[in-house]
Amino acid sequence: MSKLTAQEIETKLLRFPDWEYYDNAIHAEFEFENFKDCFSAMSRIAFECEALNHHPNWTNVYNVLTITLSTHDADGVTMKDFNLAEAIEHIVEPEE
Average pLDDT score over the chain: 94
What pTM was computed for the model? 0.91
Domains and CATH numbers, the chain: 6-92 (3.30.1360.20)
Report residue 92 CA to chain centroid gap: 10
In this prediction, residue 94 has a pLDDT band, given cuts at 50, 70 and 90, of low
Q: Helix and strand tally (H, E) in the chain?
A: 3, 4
What's the rounded mean pLDDT across residues 70-84? 94
Whether the pLDDT of residue 96 is over 50: the answer is no
Residues in contact with 26: Cβ distance below 8 Å, sequence separation at least 6, in sequence order:
9, 13, 16, 19, 20, 68, 69, 70, 77, 81, 82, 85
Whether the pLDDT of residue 85 is over 90: the answer is yes
